[in-house]
C-alpha cells in the first residue's frame, strides 16, 4: 500500500490540533489504518497526541524509499525524539 505521507502528515496535524490531551478516536483510526495496531491499541499506547506525531515521523522514515543506512542515520539523529516511541513499541511486541 502506497502512503501519501504529505497528505497523511497534514491530516494527522489537523487532528492533533483539534484533539484534547488524550489521543482521540480519529487520530487512533488514522494510525491504525496504516499499521497492524487497532484503534484501541493506539489510544492505549500513545494517549498523548504529541507521541502520535512522533510515531508518524518515525514511520515515515522507516517506510521511505531511502537506503537502509540513510534511514538508520535519520533515526539515530532523532534518537532522543523517538526513544520513548521505540520503547513503547518494543514493550508492546516483546
In the chain, domain spans: 5-93
> What are the tens digits of pLDDT across the range 24-76?
777 788 888 888 888 899 889 998 888 988 998 999 999 899 999 999 999 99
Global confidence as pTM: 0.71
Q: Which long-range contacts link 13-20 to residues 24+ away (Cβ below 8 Å)?
A: 13/53, 15/49, 16/49, 16/50, 16/52, 16/53, 19/49
Instruction: Specify the residue for cell string 532522543.
Output: 80
Amino acid at each position: 500500500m502506497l502512503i501519501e505521507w504529505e497528505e497523511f502528515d497534514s491530516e494527522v496535524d489537523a487532528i492533533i490540533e483539534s484533539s484534547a490531551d488524550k489521543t482521540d478516536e480519529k487520530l487512533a483510526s488514522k494510525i491504525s489504518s496504516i499499521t497492524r495496531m487497532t484503534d484501541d491499541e493506539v489510544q492505549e499506547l500513545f494517549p498523548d497526541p504529541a507521541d502520535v506525531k512522533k510515531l508518524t515521523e518515525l514511520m515515515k522514515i522507516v517506510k521511505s524509499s531511502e537506503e537502509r543506512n540513510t534511514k538508520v542515520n535519520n533515526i539515530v539523529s532523532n534518537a532522543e525524539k523517538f526513544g520513548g516511541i521505540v520503547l513503547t513499541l518494543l514493550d508492546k511486541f516483546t
